[in-house]
Structure formats: C-alpha cells, structure tokens
Amino acid sequence: MDNNIVIPKHIGIIMDGNGRWAKKRLLPRNMGHKKGAEVFQDITRYCNELGLESVTFYAFSTENWKRPAEEVNGIMSLLKEYLIKAFDYEKENNRVVFLGDKSAFSGELLELMLDIEEKTKDRTGMTLNIALNYGARNEIVHATKNIAQMVKNGEIDIDDINEELFSNNLYTKGQPDPDFILRPSGEKRISNFLLWQIAYSEFVYMDVLWPDFTRKDLDEAIMEFNRRNRRFGGV
C-alpha cells in the first residue's frame, strides 16, 4: 500500500455473510462458516503485516445461540480447529484476547481459549481480539457489576467512577478504542458490537460477503478511512 496511507491503530471487523455465501452456492451454512474461518486467518496475518496495534473480530454474538443447534455446534467445532491452527501462526508475536462471557464455554474449547490467552499474554506484537459469546450490552452490565462490587467492598468511592475506570472494566481494558469498524455483507447495523468503544469510530459497510473478503478489500476500506475527516467534536 501507498506510503502516505495512515493505517488505523485498531480495526473492528464484523465477519458477516457466511450463511448467504453458502446459500448462493447451494451449500450448507456451515460451509460458509468454514470458508469464513479461512478468510479470518488470512486477514489476521495481513493486519499483522500492515502493522496494526489491535484488530477485533466479531466471531459469535450473545444472540447467535438462537441459531439451530446444528449450526451452533458446527461453529464451535470450527472454532476449536481454527484456534489450534491460529495458535500455530502466533509465532508472529501476537497477543490473543477473547472478548465476551467465557462462562458459556466448557471442556476443550474453554481450556484452549485460556491456554492461548495465557501463552500469549506477554507478547508485544499485535493484539488479536476474538469476540466470542460477545455482546456489548452484556459487557456493559458485566463492567457495572464489577464496579458495584468494588464500591461495596470499599475499594473505591462512587466519585472514583469515571470513563477511564469504566473502560478498564470492559473486556477491551487497556486497549485503544477502534478507529474503524468494518462490516461486510451489505448489512448496515452494529448488532451489539463494541457499543462503548465505538463512540468516535469511523464506519465502513461493504457489499462483499465475508467468505469472499480479500486483502484488497481491506486495502480499499483503509483507503476510505483515509478520506474521512475525524473531528472528535472539535472543529
């Protein structure tokens, strides 16, 4: 990419359109998720090559449990497979963080998630956030409970509650807010993704379905980000 292009520090990606991709090809939905998982791997590598500080992928929402058991089970086994593979290329120095309520997971998948987080926690490269059983409303309630507990324990005063303390009780604690949110698949909504953190994020909606998403699409999105004039409420 052009040297004058500003690479966002933190991109959030809503990986959407797997089902429609499969339907178009008369394939089962889980084939769309499989292709989507391959694209996730490639785009992660590319974000690393571009030198991003953080990237957050929305992989499974708190609402996605409503889907048929067959699809949910398919997604869970794909996750396991791809996390194992993903961890292989984590030699690249990425730190991996799972955003979301882990209490829904158990057994091998939970062990794998905890193991990956533990093994990568001191790494200094890009932070790869994977939002799994993630919902922004759930995250905000979770942060509120933590803070209420601290007040109850007498660790902090009500007046100590401010935006910084609140941010530090979210799953994304210590990370920069996303500069940029990208949603492929043509849908133009946020679907409970990072509500607190996107206060000043730029949005790009793209017509490509996630399994068809390429490095070139990310380049184009970053180019569009460069055309935006961010003001943060100033002039």
Sheet holding 202-205, edge to edge: 95-99, 127-134, 54-61, 10-14, 180-183, 202-205
Q: Minimum distance from CB of 173 to ligand IPE (Å)? A: 21
Question: Quick one: tokens of 52?
Answer: 């991003």
Residues 8-27, mask of contacts with Mg ion (x by CB under 5 A):
--------x-----------
206 binds Mg ion (CB under 5 A): no
CA distances from 119 to 87, 90, 113, 127, 129 (A): 10, 10, 10, 13, 15
138 binds, among ligand IPE, Mg ion, none (CB under 5 to 8 A by kind): none
> Cα–Cα distance between 214 and 42 in angstroms, integer?
8
What mask, x for binding ligand IPE by CB under 6 A, covers residues 139 to 178? ----------------------------------------
Neighbours of 217 (CB within 10 A): 19
CA separation, residue 204 to residues 47, 70, 128, 180, 211 (Å):
17, 32, 20, 8, 17
The one catalytic residue among 64, 138, 168, 169: 64
The H or E element containing residue 115 is helix 107-120
> With respect to Mg ion, which residue has the nearer C-beta, 16 or 217?
16
Read off the amino acid at residue 157.
Answer: D
Q: How far is the CB of 15 from Mg ion (least distance, A)?
A: 9
Catalytic entry in 2, 3, 16, 48? 16
Site for ligand IPE in 32-91 (CB under 6 A): 58-61, 64, 75
Q: Which of 48, 172, 175, 185 binds ligand IPE (CB under 6 A)?
A: 185
Active site residue 64: yes
- Tell me the number of residues near Mg ion by CB under 5 A: 1
Give whichever of 134 and 225 is closer to Mg ion, judged by the CB atom. 134
17 binds ligand IPE (CB under 6 A): yes
CA gap 193, 190 in Å, rounded = 6
Footprint of ligand IPE (CB under 6 A): 14-20, 58-61, 64, 75, 185, 187, 189, 191
Footprint of Mg ion (CB under 5 A): 16
